[in-house]
Structure 1
Amino acid sequence: MPSRARTPRQAGTNRGLAPGAAPEPLVIASLSGTLRVREPGRVVIETGGVGYEVLVPLSTYYRLPALGNQVFLEIRQIVREDALTLYGFSSAVEKRAFDLLTQVQHVGPRHALSILSVLTPAELADAISREDIHKLDAAPGVGPKVAERVVRELRDKIGDLRIAEPPGGPPIRAAARDGSPAIVDDAVSALVNLAYKPVEARRAVDSVLAEEPGADLETIIRKSLAVLLGEK
């Protein structure tokens, strides 16, 4: 079920609201339920008869259980004028990293998910502390100017990102192997969600499968990312 965090006003009795004003909406802080949809970058979790769409980095996607199993995610809810979006993470420290990244000027949720899809929170903290612009710039969609801004604005805020993450669930292991259409499509979809063009994503996946035809989905995505980042 969704865990909701109340705002300071909601923690009381909504006193101080103008007559006729609606109370502030509850914020979803975590979500547990049955995994109904599992796609690279996107899941749907059903709880209480309601399906919640949640966007996730690949690091969280790798740890998801099989469809129909119970799952728990830390949630960051972001409300825009035209949308309410849920972002999910397998650990509190990963959620903290997302929060820090989205505080940086011109770094939105898409950039943050892209960075966390290729760097763990500890690796992110290490790159920032060493001012490794190239490592941050290697994340899809993140250019050198954004990488420099991340280093400059977060260098004094990354201490808690080095906390060891609790072990998550087992990494995803796709049933489809030997370059089947299903596993190829899933791998290409994951890379396209990271802002790569379908043609270059397919080329990278094909190159990985040519060398390792029996690879599982996580291995294909990770090695395809290595190919693409090496070409950048």
Structure 2
Amino acid sequence: MIGRIRGRLVEKQPSLLLVDVQGVGYEIEVPFTTSFALSEINQDIILHTHLVVREDAQLLYGFSAVKDRDLFRLLIKINGVGPKLALTILSGLDSTQLARCVRDDDSATLVKLPGVGKKTAERLLIELRDKLKDWGLPDHDLLAGEESAPAKSASSVIEEAESALIALGYKPQEATKAVNAVKVDGLSSEELIRLALKGMVRGN
């Protein structure tokens, strides 16, 4: 099992990273929350990882915090929740927000995530309740201190945000509507994605 990676961040997309470790490039799938928290390109990073071995592939998943990886491992043990859906859940909700949903028995928030139906949401709440009982809910933003990305054109920022949401599983019309609802001049694509996700999860 590969449990930790330290290397130089070579490429960065909202859900996929390429990390150079002594000349070997590792493709690592990450939730949006981890991607937003990372340094810029060509900086050294540390990721806590989980390796999934299948007959047709070896997939490496990475997280900026051990707590997030632990939650990912809890999620993929739940019937009907594979690594892809677990990443989707952790992209729409950080570990603290998910723990709060479980504590409050809030299935309404969970079903707004792509791929999470009513039955899956109820199963998540039931199976995570005891496991997250002592999780703790600190009052801080997981992404606090995130550095702003280099300035890009407004159209480029919007296109990147919409593409990221579509890759996460939202329909193009939903992605466009969500981005348009929160777009403000000066935001980076990552900030725009985060705001759009929050709006889609909370609803109106």
* TM-score (ref. length: structure 1): 0.79
Which stretch of the first structure deviates more once superposed, 105-114 or 121-130? 121-130
Aligned counterpart, 1:219: 191
Query: 1:1-232 alignment to 2 at 5 Å?
Result: 27-162=1-136, 170-177=145-152, 179-181=154-156, 183-209=157-183, 212-229=184-201
Which stretch of the first structure deviates more once superposed, 150-159 or 199-208? 199-208
* Percent of aligned positions that are identical: 37
**Contact kept in structure 2, 1:75 and 1:87, CA below 8 Å:** yes
**Contact kept in structure 2, 1:93 and 1:163, CA below 8 Å:** no
Aligned residues: 203
Which stretch of the first structure deviates more once superposed, 90-99 or 123-132? 123-132
Deviations 1:46-84 (A, max 9, x none): 012110000000110111111111010000111111111
Deviation at 1:144, TM superposition (A): 1.0
**Contact kept in structure 1, 2:3 and 2:50, CA below 8 Å:** yes
| 1:162 partner SS | coil
Taking only aligned residues, the RMSD between alpha carbons, in angstroms, comes to 2.3
Deviation at 1:226, TM superposition (A): 3.5
In structure 1, what is the Cα distance between the partners aligned to 2:93 and 2:141? 16
Kindly name which structure, 1 or 2, has the bigger radius of gyration based on alpha carbons: 1
In structure 2, what is the Cα distance between the partners aligned to 1:90 and 1:104? 22
In structure 2, what is the Cα distance between the partners aligned to 1:37 and 1:199? 28
Distance 1:127 1:198, change over 3 A: same
Paired AA for residue 173 in structure 1: S
Query: Unmatched 5+ residue regions in structure 2?
Result: none
